[in-house]
Structure 1
Amino acid sequence: MIRLGLRLTVGGGREAAARLAIIAAAVALGVGLLLGTLAAIGAIGTQNSRGAWFNSGSAETAPAPAPATGSTVDPLWWHLDGDRFEGRLIGRLDLAATGPHSPLPPGLPRLPGPGEFYASPALGRLLATTPADELAARYPGRQVGTIGDAALPGPDSLVIVIGHRPDELAGARDARQVTSIVTASDGSCGNPSCLVGLDNNGMDLTLSVVAAALVFPVLVLIGTATRLSATRREQRFAAMRLVGATPRQISVLSAVESTAAAVLGTAAGFVLFLLAAPLLARIDFTGTLFFPGDLTLPATDVVLVALGVPAAAAVSARIALRGVRISPLGVARRVTPRPPRAWRVIPLAAGLLELTYLIGRVPTSSDDQVRVFLPGILLVLGGLVLAGPWLTMLGARLMTRGAGRPTTLIAGRRLSDDPKAGFRAVSGLVLALCVTSTAVGVIGALAAERGVPRGGPIVSATVVGGYQRYDGAGHPAGGVATPPDAVLAGLRAIPGVRGVTVNHLDPTYAWGTHAGLGGGLADCAQLTATAAFGTCPAGAEAARVNSSFLSIGLRGTPPWPATWPATTTSAEQLRGLPVQEIAVATDGSSAAVERARTVLANAYPGEQPAITVAEDRAQQAANLDADRRLADVVVAISFPIAGCSLAVSVAGGLSDRRRPFSLLRLTGVRLGVLRRIVLLESALPLVVVATVAIGTGFLTAQLFLRAQFGYSVRAPGTAYYLTIGGGLAVALGVITATLPLLSRLTGPEMARNE
């Protein structure tokens, strides 16, 4: 029977070949997406582990004691910091060995000596092609080698390791001694032992939800393609039953056809993944790109996908043709199927109840979050598909009651008789609408709660050097010395620099007793040159300003006044106060920004590197931007897949119903009437269930947000309505594009018994 099944699959003419190709393509797309998601999850863990060594200094919170007599380990002075160039992060590590046996970080042949440094390949190229006063002048010494890939999170990572004498780092701010190098990441960056890296457990939750959102439309496409020409295949199998074939033999034949297509699709899916892996490596999920070798799959994943997909296809075929196996006359009788029952909404309700129950009970572990959130979201998506026929039946019955035309009556009666077939055509698009609404609801709320305003171009292009010292309550309590006049003059002399303002600590400001802005003092002459941060009252020499210029426009802070209140402190007295920040207003050109950053880095070595306001905003919004990109991927993929499902289903439905349509034409029904019937049969379930799907999507987003973050869904923007409207318009266009097939499929010759 297996050989016969293969012959029917391969040698069944153009119809069988087309069905085989469509099913294989659908399976290939699903397998490719699944493999890509699994590879991305593994790559994030690999990337974190390879960059774990950066956290060696934070793993030991106190300076290491002097080595005991006979010890083979000499402490290593360790100072990790982050520099920036044109918005990109540069990892800077300053080291100083205290003896010949200090630990060696990965990727280095030896520790750099005083006046030497190693640079990553990407940073080495930047140093070679960028003017020295914009970048290289920040780093003392000369390059003696390149950091190996084993020490880099990604191929575009910018990392520099600089050597010093021990006495140079002994008094440096935040410098520590380490006696070992961290070799593994715990995957969570929410604790003091992980200053560098990504919370890959949290990313697992995001990617798992994304995978579920993508796989469901693909499964619908596979199911739709599997049922192509279902009526003719049922007739063929029923005829075999009449001549003596057993139910088991029919099961084997149906399983062989679907399994063969699934095997071909699975193989093609692996090829698709291998071809797409280099492109996947170019997608910035984590702030740096993947090495191509990171996107590998464990043998267990390969075996599970390679065996599980064909097995699932065989089970699907067995379920789809169960009526033929029961009775050889099951097809010929053409009885009206039983209407769907209300129990179909139970899984959908269960998923929503599960998400509701999680409000206030979400576990802290990201692994547990995956286990509790993912089943609820899968239940919602699966429950929507299961409840779709019942909702379609309700809508069809309402349409039939108010029918005033034959077209509406025939379409409504057909949908009432077989709502499963009517919903099947639009199920993929309905899922896409639900997924899109959920993604927009979640991202919109996060943007409203966590989004960071970018600020105007003058503010965004301002370079800010932060030098605050904090007390035990987290309030500014110190800073650095006022920069020499030569430093200020050098900053103002840079082409593109518009002004410089030094923000001094206000010693009279009582933290905890004042509300609103304050904590800083600034020279009015300097503020005039950086007017975007406010000005002084007329005649004032100095003014009270906020403790940080980076907080301008942030949520939760009062609006910045156009005019700051005056103070009696003189400009000369300001020079004796600690400096909290230095703001350098630029024209936004790369040369001006980077030269200003270089001057500040050399004026205050060992301090936090300067950052532009735009970079600070981007850094705060990095996770939100990554989630937004993933949501865009979900929307961009799910809608085309849904469109393919719709086109395949409508075309297949027309092919299966060509005989009854031909009989209607012989009785005098015009072709235009048939076309309106087909359009109504597809449009009604689309409108009815799509409304429920959109509402379910936003409700799912609300429950997820309340459980995970305590946020609420916000009204979507214009882009959402354009996306939904465009998707529905394209769907109706796809349905309309299949209508010309009616003329060819409903000729008189099609009315004969087949």
Structure 2
Amino acid sequence: MTNWLQDLAFGFRLAFTGHRPWGRLVVTAVGIGLGVAVLLGAATVPNVHAARIERENLRNPVAAADSPGAGVLVANSDVLQFGDSSVRGLQLRNMRGDAPVAPGLTRNPEPGEMVVSPKLQELLQSPVGELLRPRLPGEVVGVIGQDGLTGPGELFFYVGSDSLSPLSDQVNAVFHHFGETGQVDAQLDTNSQLILLLSMAALLVPIVVYVAATARLAEAARQRRLAAMRLVGATGRQVRRMAVGEALAGAVLGVALGWVLFALVKPVVEHVGTADLTIFSSDVRPVWSLALLITLGIPALAALVTTASLRRSIVQPLQVARRTSARPRKLAWRLVPVVAGLLGLVVIGLEGVGGTSALRVFLVSVVLVLAGVPLLLPWCVERIAGRLGGGSTAWQLAVRRLQMTSGTAARSVSAIAVVVTGVIALQTLVASVGASAGERVLGRDFATGSVLVDAGLPEDPAAVQQSVRELQALPGVDVRSAELLSYGNSDPDSYWTVHIADCAQIAALAVVTDCADGDVFATTPQPGGEHVAGATLQLLDSYYGATDRPTTGQPVSWTVPGAVRPANPVARDGEVELYVTPAAATGIPDSTRRVRIQLQLDPAAPPEVVEHVRNVAAAHLVEPMTSGDHGTVRTRPDQERDAVLAATRLALLAGALVVFALIGCSLFVSAAEQIQERRRPLAVLGAVGVPRRTMAWSLLLQNAVPMLVATALAAVTGLLMGVLVVVISQEDEIAFDVPGMLGLLAFAAIAVVVVTALSLPAARRATRPEGLRTE
């Protein structure tokens, strides 16, 4: 054991000596340090998620509000859409003098008082927030502490109320303290889970591949030093232990640097993200078991890769030889991980994603595909380089070098192949989810510039006309239609829309003749194919408020009057359209009626006009929602999905930049190493008069060809994996993020050009006649 430690320690010291060791050591440590920082960031995800869910649970009671002894009544406020952000809140009503205090507060707000999050307070104090203030239900009297928020950027408020009813199904109760009952669902929807798992694999697997490739940087120079050790009497086993010690030096420094970078970046996370998904820096704590695995596993991985690279080599005192002669690489075993991973995705697509086990199989399948790409790449580079020939002098020099060192060339771009594969697959999934979500939210009936206001019927019917007048008075707003609707069905397979309107409004909605108050008109998917007269509809109750408004919460029966006249058939997804005049609609309860106002915005209208529309709707209507090309109020699952999409795009950009920075380091060190190894041939070429421009083009082509092969392989594999993942997610359509893919290819091209430019000075020095006397 003592000899082992001595050999490792000697190899560790060897990394700091020799010919200009610091450049190689610094590049290795920086590359591994960036990778470790990213891995540590990924190890914080479980703790960050758990902390967010814990805070969400603390302020979301689910106890029955009509239970005796309730201390506080709690109800969710309407989600307010402001620009691209969502504002949420809770209404509180104290029922006892010792009522429990909501998390993040020192006391519950009294009726008319409101306590807001720091980010919401900042927004309200800005000029932009003036348009949001009319929709908030109270006067700001304080700021919510960290315990009451899921993130520092959350737009959230508590408001005091004296009208919450314990009989409402939208009101819950807290007895002794918040968080004492029930838990909210901590699970994201399936698409969000797929996006997160694929994101982690796409950004973390390349880091591991890069760390493995970094352990073999400057391998030729290392083997020359080890050969010198053999010359002074070291055995083969001692040489291998020295090599491991030398690799551990860069790995240990990289791990230490990674922890330092993680600590420096940690305070910055509070300023990154979206309003729906931000993180407190105190929650950014790696899971200790994962942190330990990263801290010990990275040096262990470097040691294993170094040992494997020397397994088939004989370090002789005066040379390094291979145990076997060079043979063409075999394809069969290299295909196994990729094929197995793709088959796993196909199986999940056929059976569907259901439960934790399926998600684990999904993650393993994705990792297999990504890990198989660097195994396939050396074979691809070797086969393509072997078939290249002819051309200019620069081309022949580059091709010949690639044919001799295809493995080294493939290793230098292996990480980029993995990251491009994963990011293209992720871009395909995100684009498909976004396209499907956009179609579901905006609908097919909204033209560009249209806004639809959908709200419950207010107690005062005059408020509807007041809303229409104020909306029409807004600059750039044209009120196209304003009507009352009820929704219901006559059987589980039919869905009916009841339009309650006068004859003038009905004439604008359908082609009818001889309209008079008391008439009823109907359109059917097939003329004469369905008799609606006398049918009994189960109309949906529209009132789900938290106050004492009259509501049953159950469907209300209404029988269509016997005299139903036909209207011009307008088939809309198989729905039945009823147009009922006011006199014929007397039997339709107000609780089932909704207000729908369709607006058209002038292209020259200012962007803030939509906020004015929302303010008018909030002032006069019940629980209004506005939707259309200028924004929509979404439900909570959609907000989570949108937050995940936005965070994924941000993580993709940041992660891609980090990984490409790592790859640039790898390419540069690899190019510098090859120039160092080719000092004599380059000096000979310079001595016989080969132009430096030819040498520069040779270096560019030598870097560009493996990069082209890597990106081509990655694009094909990434698109195939992306399509399979979209099929698993059961999205309505498959969309491709062409600009994002072109951006990745642009990054790759820039990396090649930059690395070549940085390598030119070393190449020029190597072409001088002095290079002939370097050995």
Interval containing the TM-score (normalised by the shorter chain): 0.7 to 0.9
Within 1, Cα distance between the matches of 2:487 and 2:696?
Answer: 81
| CA apart distance, 1:241 | 0.8
Structure 1 residue aligned with 2:34: 29
Aligned partner of 1:52: which letter? N
Deviation string 1:570-621 (CA, Å, 9 cap, x unpaired) is 69979987441243747766775555545544545xx535445333277647
> Is the counterpart of residue 498 in structure 1 residue 477 in structure 2?
yes
Structure 1 residue aligned with 2:120: 123
Contact 2:312 2:324 in 1 (8 A): no
Change (3 A) 1:527 1:691: farther
Structure 2 residue aligned with 1:5: 11
Within 1, Cα distance between the matches of 2:275 and 2:488?
Answer: 43
| CA apart distance, 1:353 | 2.4
Structure 2 residue aligned with 1:553: none
Structure 1 residue aligned with 2:726: 705
* Counterpart among 623, 640, 643 of residue 664 in structure 2: 643
Change (3 A) 1:130 1:482: farther
* Counterpart among 75, 81, 88 of residue 79 in structure 1: 75
| CA apart distance, 1:77 | 2.8
The answer for unaligned runs of 5 or more in structure 1 is 68-72, 187-192, 469-478, 549-557
| CA apart distance, 1:492 | 4.3
> Is the counterpart of residue 374 in structure 1 residue 363 in structure 2?
yes
Within 2, Cα distance between the matches of 1:742 and 1:340?
Answer: 31
Please, what TM-score do these two structures have when normalized by structure 1? 0.79
Within 2, Cα distance between the matches of 1:405 and 1:424?
Answer: 26
Within 2, Cα distance between the matches of 1:538 and 1:733?
Answer: 74
* Counterpart among 245, 266, 279 of residue 277 in structure 1: 266
Contact 2:110 2:161 in 1 (8 A): yes
* Counterpart among 351, 363, 366 of residue 361 in structure 1: 351
Within 1, Cα distance between the matches of 2:23 and 2:31?
Answer: 12
| CA apart distance, 1:10 | 2.4
Within 2, Cα distance between the matches of 1:460 and 1:158?
Answer: 27
- Of residues 87-96 and 223-232 in structure 1, the stretch that sits farther from structure 2 once superposed is 223-232
Contact 2:680 2:772 in 1 (8 A): yes
Aligned partner of 2:93: which letter? A
> Is the counterpart of residue 581 in structure 1 residue 589 in structure 2?
no
Contact 2:197 2:363 in 1 (8 A): yes
| CA apart distance, 1:17 | 0.8
Structure 2 residue aligned with 1:616: 632
* Counterpart among 150, 160, 166 of residue 157 in structure 2: 160
> Is the counterpart of residue 391 in structure 1 residue 419 in structure 2?
no
Contact 1:460 1:612 in 2 (8 A): no
Aligned partner of 1:10: which letter? F
Within 2, Cα distance between the matches of 1:20 and 1:637?
Answer: 19
> Is the counterpart of residue 45 in structure 1 residue 50 in structure 2?
yes
Change (3 A) 1:141 1:251: same
Structure 1 residue aligned with 2:147: 150
| CA apart distance, 1:438 | 1.6
Task: Name the SS for the 2:483 alignment partner.
Answer: strand
| CA apart distance, 1:96 | 2.7
Task: Name the SS for the 1:20 alignment partner.
Answer: helix
Aligned pairs for 1:673-712 (under 5 A) are 677-709=698-730
- Of residues 638-647 and 594-603 in structure 1, the stretch that sits farther from structure 2 once superposed is 594-603
Please, what TM-score do these two structures have when normalized by structure 2? 0.77
> Is the counterpart of residue 90 in structure 1 residue 116 in structure 2?
no
Deviation string 1:440-459 (CA, Å, 9 cap, x unpaired) is 32223323433347699997
| CA apart distance, 1:382 | 1.7
Task: Name the SS for the 1:339 alignment partner.
Answer: coil
Within 1, Cα distance between the matches of 2:762 and 2:275?
Answer: 48
> Is the counterpart of residue 313 in structure 1 residue 302 in structure 2?
yes
| CA apart distance, 1:420 | 0.7
- Of residues 669-678 and 210-219 in structure 1, the stretch that sits farther from structure 2 once superposed is 669-678
Contact 2:52 2:151 in 1 (8 A): yes
Task: Name the SS for the 1:687 alignment partner.
Answer: helix
Within 1, Cα distance between the matches of 2:126 and 2:326?
Answer: 73
Task: Name the SS for the 2:453 alignment partner.
Answer: strand
| CA apart distance, 1:306 | 2.5
Change (3 A) 1:312 1:508: closer
Structure 2 residue aligned with 1:189: none
- Of residues 335-344 and 502-511 in structure 1, the stretch that sits farther from structure 2 once superposed is 502-511
Structure 1 residue aligned with 2:171: 175
Contact 1:518 1:544 in 2 (8 A): no
| CA apart distance, 1:22 | 0.4
Task: Name the SS for the 1:653 alignment partner.
Answer: helix
| CA apart distance, 1:654 | 1.7
Structure 2 residue aligned with 1:435: 422
> Is the counterpart of residue 233 in structure 1 residue 222 in structure 2?
yes
| CA apart distance, 1:237 | 0.8
Within 2, Cα distance between the matches of 1:135 and 1:404?
Answer: 67
Structure 2 residue aligned with 1:18: 23
Within 2, Cα distance between the matches of 1:417 and 1:92?
Answer: 66
Within 2, Cα distance between the matches of 1:700 and 1:184?
Answer: 44
Structure 1 residue aligned with 2:251: 262
Contact 1:239 1:328 in 2 (8 A): yes
Contact 1:127 1:135 in 2 (8 A): yes
| CA apart distance, 1:275 | 1.9
Task: Name the SS for the 2:78 alignment partner.
Answer: strand
| CA apart distance, 1:637 | 3.8
Contact 2:89 2:157 in 1 (8 A): yes
| CA apart distance, 1:322 | 4.1
Change (3 A) 1:184 1:297: farther
Aligned pairs for 1:290-305 (under 5 A) are 290-305=279-294
- Of residues 620-629 and 354-363 in structure 1, the stretch that sits farther from structure 2 once superposed is 620-629
* Counterpart among 407, 430, 433 of residue 420 in structure 1: 407
Within 2, Cα distance between the matches of 1:143 and 1:274?
Answer: 36
Change (3 A) 1:714 1:662: same
Aligned partner of 1:520: which letter? H
Change (3 A) 1:280 1:525: farther
Within 2, Cα distance between the matches of 1:508 and 1:304?
Answer: 57
Aligned partner of 2:350: which letter? G
The answer for unaligned runs of 5 or more in structure 2 is 1-5, 525-538, 541-569
Contact 1:465 1:583 in 2 (8 A): yes
> Size of the alignment, in residue pairs?
705
Contact 2:116 2:140 in 1 (8 A): yes
> Is the counterpart of residue 482 in structure 1 residue 469 in structure 2?
no
Task: Name the SS for the 1:750 alignment partner.
Answer: helix
| CA apart distance, 1:236 | 1.6
Structure 2 residue aligned with 1:352: 342
Within 1, Cα distance between the matches of 2:488 and 2:86?
Answer: 36
Task: Name the SS for the 2:631 alignment partner.
Answer: helix
Within 2, Cα distance between the matches of 1:618 and 1:98?
Answer: 32
Change (3 A) 1:33 1:163: same
Structure 2 residue aligned with 1:552: none
* Counterpart among 225, 233, 243 of residue 244 in structure 1: 233
Aligned partner of 1:504: which letter? L
Change (3 A) 1:241 1:303: same
| CA apart distance, 1:163 | 3.0
Contact 1:281 1:295 in 2 (8 A): no
Aligned partner of 2:748: which letter? G
Aligned partner of 1:503: which letter? E
Change (3 A) 1:574 1:288: farther
| CA apart distance, 1:30 | 0.3
Change (3 A) 1:521 1:497: farther
Identity %: 27
